[in-house]
């Protein structure tokens, strides 16, 4: 998938819950996120794969983590954001550096996405080629992220998204058979960039189409996917009730605070020893 904001993580969950697979989502995450209070440890224990960029990338460690998941015969959606960081219109230097790199390497220059990095994608597909059903190329666009001058704005933050400041999320999905993906990293790199060229064309049409009727939509027949309350309400009631019951009593509040403090310390220690 392309990557713009924290909400992108939730998009993966939105797709998974519609396939009754919410508990099976695994992420490839940048290494710095392992220090997130509680969540860094949680993602690690839940099969998340932390990776460092460029020369510090540890291929062996990633392969071992994926093999452990396969050995356990864990059904999963492994989510990768190959750009390696968010596309942020307010940080033009990152976009310019990405475009300069593509030009230097003789690759097509992309406007609405960054030049993808192939290492993690190659390791994932190569390690799991006998385990995967397919690869899903997911392109995400957030409606209402263009200003009055037609310039793209920052994608919504989690708070803005939850407060409905983003009218709609548009998701374009393309299912790719493994036989259509090159195995060698050199050729996969070209293939991955071509996939991002397709994303870029979709997003150019979405954001920049001269005909206003073609903006804010992807080509083809769209499906408005509603989610029934029975899939979300039980979890909300359970977690909300559990949290509220803790916060309503003095002893519960102390336990809540201690869980965050000591859980964070133990979690950071754990991921530093066993990432």
Residue 138 DSSP class: E
The torsion defined by the Cα of 33, 34, 36 and 40, in degrees rounded to 10, comes to: 120
CA distance 92 to 95: 5
Q: Tell me what the pLDDT averaged over the chain comes to.
A: 91
Q: What's the pLDDT band for 275 if we cut at 50, 70, 90?
A: low
Q: What is the pLDDT of residues 147-201, one digit of tens each?
A: 888 889 999 999 999 888 888 899 999 999 999 999 999 999 999 999 999 999 9
Burial class (CB in 10 A: 0-12, 13-18, 19+), 221: exposed
Q: Which of 12-16, 17-21, 78-82 has the highest mean pLDDT?
A: 78-82
Q: What is the model's pTM? A: 0.90
- Between CA 125 and CA 108, with CA 86 as vertex, the angle to 5 degrees is 70
Per-residue pLDDT, 8: 94
Per-residue pLDDT, 88: 95
The mean pLDDT value for 14-33 works out to 90
Task: Return all residues near 196 (Cβ < 8 A) that are at least 6 apart.
Answer: 2, 82, 110, 113, 115, 116
Per-domain residue ranges for the chain?
A: 7-226, 228-274
Q: Is the pLDDT assigned to residue 13 strictly greater than 70?
A: yes
The mean pLDDT value for 231-260 works out to 91
CA distance 208 to 231: 36
Q: What is the pLDDT of residues 214-239, one digit of tens each?
A: 888 998 888 888 888 888 899 899 99
Helix spans in the chain (H): 7-17, 39-45, 59-71, 92-104, 119-127, 158-162, 185-208, 233-247, 250-273
What residues are paired with 169 via a beta bridge? Answer: 142
């Amino acid at each position: 998938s392309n990557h713009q904001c924290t909400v992108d993580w939730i998009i993966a969950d939105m797709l998974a819950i519609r396939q009754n697979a919410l508990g099976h989502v695994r992420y490839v995450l940048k290494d710095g996120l392992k220090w997130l209070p509680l969540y860094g440890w949680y993602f690690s224990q839940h099969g998340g794969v932390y990776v460092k960029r460029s020369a510090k990338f540890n291929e062996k460690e990633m392969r071992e983590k994926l093999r452990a998941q396969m050995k356990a015969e864990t059904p999963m959606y492994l989510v990768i954001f190959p750009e390696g960081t968010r596309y942020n219109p307010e940080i033009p230097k990152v976009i310019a550096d990405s475009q300069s790199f593509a030009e230097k390497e003789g690759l097509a220059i992309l406007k609405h996405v960054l030049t993808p990095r192939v290492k993690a994608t190659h390791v994932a597909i190569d390690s799991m080629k006998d385990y995967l059903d397919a690869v899903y190329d997911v392109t995400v666009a957030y409606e209402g992220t263009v200003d009055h001058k037609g310039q793209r704005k920052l994608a919504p933050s989690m708070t803005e998204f939850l407060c409905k400041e983003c009218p709609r999320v548009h998701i374009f999905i393309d299912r790719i058979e493994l036989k259509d993906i090159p195995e060698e990293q050199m050729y996969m790199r070209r293939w991955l960039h071509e996939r991002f060229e397709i994303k870029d064309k979709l997003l150019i049409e979405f954001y920049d189409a001269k005909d206003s009727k073609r903006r804010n939509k992807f080509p083809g027949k769209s499906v408005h996917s509603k989610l029934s309350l029975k899939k979300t309400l039980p979890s909300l009631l359970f977690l909300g009730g559990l949290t509220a019951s803790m916060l309503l009593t003095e002893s519960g509040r102390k336990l809540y605070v201690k869980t965050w403090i000591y859980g964070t310390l133990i979690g950071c220690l754990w991921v530093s020893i066993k990432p």
